[in-house]
A and B are shown apart, each in its own frame.
Chain A
Amino acid sequence: MHSYLVLRVVAKLLMPFIMLFGLYVQFHGDFGPGGGFQAGVIFAAGFILYALIFGLKDAGKVLPRGILRFGIALGVLLFAGVGVYDMLVGGKYLDYSVMAQDPVHGQHLGILLVELGVGITVTSVMVMVFFTFARHRQTKGDD
């Protein structure tokens, strides 16, 4: 693995751009094409690329399994929690209009948070799936 200098350098160079593009897709999703799912996949692809180039051990240091597990649950909680918050402040479940002073603001805020939840869970699940399969192969010893 360590001899592929070009790959390592290029991957390192690309990494910030992948993350930045992920963030763009994530937070621009309510104005244009994109959203939590797509952004989550882009983020996860970034981490998986990192794991492919630098090995599972280093990737595991960047995103430990504990954090991934936390992320999987956190995203769902955030999504469902937004709905519960809407109920508590007087709207229907997932009625974002009541989340801010005026409905338009509320809708923006609501969809932003919900999509953030989606993004977190999708990223965590995708990376977790990759790690699980990759580690499975490694423990079998035919890596």
Chain B
Amino acid sequence: MIEHLAALQVVIPLLCAPICMLVRYRDWAWIVALFGSWACLVISWLLLQQVIVGDPISYHMGNWAPPLGIEYRVDTVNAFVLLIVSAIGAVVTPYARESVRAEFGVNRVYLFYTSYMLCLCGLLGVTITGDAFNLFVFLEISSLSSYVLIAMGKDRRALTASYQYLVLGTIGATFIVIGIGLLYAETGTLNMEDLAKRLADQPLSRTVGAAFGFLVVGISLKLALFPLHLWLPNAYTYAPSVVSAFLAATATKVAVYVLLRFLFSIFNVKLSFGVMPLDTILLVLSVIAMFAASAVAIFQPDIKRMLAYSSVAQIGYMVLGISFANVNGIAAGIIHLFNHALMKGGMFLALGCVFYQIASVRLDDMAGLGKRMPWTMAAFVVGGLSLIGVPLTVGFVSKWYLVVGALDRGWWFAALLILLSSLLAVVYIWRVVEVAYLKPAPENAGDIEDAPPSMLIPTWILIGASVFFGINTDLTVGVAKQAAMQLLGAGG
């Protein structure tokens, strides 16, 4: 079975989705989803182990040889992203049982697991495929299922949030498919490796330039790069807690991976950053994202919304790393992709625990929560410290490599801006700490316990990992540097 791992990575969640739908009973559906997500984690771990030491894995779907057939291609870059996505899935699924039971109507629980498995399948598929059109198909699978997941939120505004995301997401997807279509018209191939070869051989034509523009804008919409982030705050705020945590930790990360793949593997560095002035554009937009979104986050009364804006700012850091276009910068982007998935996933899960107990995540309602739910709030604070970039947390590691990347490029002002924007994170995290720990609980607040262990343990696994990988950086930094060199090497 070992040779089929690449296919099974996508096929297992694809099979679990209809099975969840058939079993209908919520606990059985949960068990199927649990099996699916854990199997994915094991597979992605095995794949990463294989590609770290050896050559990239190539799997020919239906035994049709590429470039005509669809190829699944696993190298260090996407093996790492596969691991992130499936690890988050594996942690979120056990958490989902209690949280989903509390936030969903009984009859819709199995539909949640069905869409969740489809979303996981789509995200893994986008990451693993070596075929540009196949990537678009999986992107649509993940997007469509995430619209459904977001719309399942209890708040009626979830529906409009989901609809807004649907409209913008569809525009993004259309741009991407137009870009891929233009590339196909120019080169006559859809296989990524083949595309890269043919594009490198020919001078830049207007078709390729247009394809480049469409792709960059479309992918930027999907990854919520400022100013194309407008769908994100509402979607994350009104989605069910589990969904916010899962999507915040995976969906935008996969989109960042797609951007990396297109900029470096399909187009090359010379085209992306030499002929096209993309480094300046990405630099400016990501710096604005870092500052503007963090500043907006400070004034949010709803903590989920605050974290959503903070996500937009953190995506800024990842894209900033990419804009440096050197090994340390790209490695920093990839490291932050991993680290942000851990900390933001953990913080959204902690908020889910809060919502489970007090049915609100507004700042005013969280007064005195530090004493009433000590474990949950401690998780939130540790996650927050990591978001700020305090040493011994993963946030510090990402920012360290970002600064190194900026200095390598000679953009010392960018290094300064990274440090300055971290101060904004201090402000918005402190607001929560102040209210939760220093304000007394309201008189009429009933006695509440901390969240159940089935929710606290997954939360702490992510938060614990965000400290563990802050101290032991071998895996993340090693793999990210190898991945960055592969990306730059492949491009020229």
- A: residues with CB less than 8 A from B are 69-70, 72-74, 76-77, 80-81, 83-84, 87, 91-97
Contacts and interface: CB of A to CB of B under 8 A. Distances in A.
Interface string B1-25: 1001001000100110111011000
Contacts of A87: 1, 4, 7
A132 B60 CA distance: 39
Contact of A91 (B14, B18, B63): B63
Contacts of B18: 72-74, 76-77, 80
Contact of B63 (A81, A84, A95): A95
Interface of B: 1, 4, 7, 11, 14-15, 17-19, 21-22, 59-63
A84 B21 contact: no
A51 B61 CA distance: 40
Nearest to A92: B63
Contacts of B22: 70, 73-74, 77
A95 B11 contact: no
A88 to B, nearest CB: 9
A58 to B, nearest CB: 25
A114 B17 CA distance: 17
B15 A93 contact: no
Contact of B60 (A70, A81, A92, A97): A92
B4 A97 contact: no
A96 B21 contact: no
A28 B15 CA distance: 27
Contacts of A93: 4, 7, 11, 59, 61-62
Contacts of A74: 18, 22
8 contacts: A76-B17, A80-B14, A80-B15, A84-B15, A91-B63, A92-B7, A93-B7, A95-B62
A94 B62 contact: yes
A37 B124 CA distance: 25
A77 B21 CA distance: 11
A83 B11 contact: yes
A140 B21 CA distance: 28
Contacts of B4: 87, 92-93
B11 A96 contact: no
Nearest to B69: A92
A96 B61 CA distance: 11
A111 to B, nearest CB: 10
Contacts of B19: 73, 77
A87 B11 CA distance: 11
A73 B21 contact: yes
Query: Which 7 pairs from chain A and chain B are nearest by CB?
Result: A73-B18, A93-B7, A95-B63, A94-B62, A73-B21, A92-B63, A76-B18
Contacts of B21: 69, 72-73
Given A92-B63, A93-B4, A96-B62, 17 more contacts: A69-B21, A72-B18, A73-B18, A73-B19, A76-B17, A77-B18, A77-B19, A80-B14, A80-B15, A80-B18, A81-B15, A83-B7, A92-B4, A92-B59, A92-B62, A93-B7, A95-B63
Contact of A76 (B7, B14, B63): B14
The residue in A80, A87, A95, A97 that gathers the most chain B C-beta atoms within 10 A of its C-beta is A80
A76 B11 CA distance: 11
A92 B7 CA distance: 9
Contact of A84 (B11, B17, B59): B11
Nearest to A83: B11
Nearest to A79: B14
B369 to A, nearest CB: 40
Contact of B61 (A70, A76, A94, A97): A94
Contacts of A72: 18, 21
Contacts of B15: 77, 80-81, 84
Nearest to A75: B18
A96 B19 CA distance: 23
Nearest to B24: A69
B33 to A, nearest CB: 14
B35 to A, nearest CB: 15
A92 B61 contact: yes
Contacts of A91: 63
The residue in B1, B4, B60, B62 that gathers the most chain A C-beta atoms within 10 A of its C-beta is B62
B11 A80 contact: yes
B28 to A, nearest CB: 14
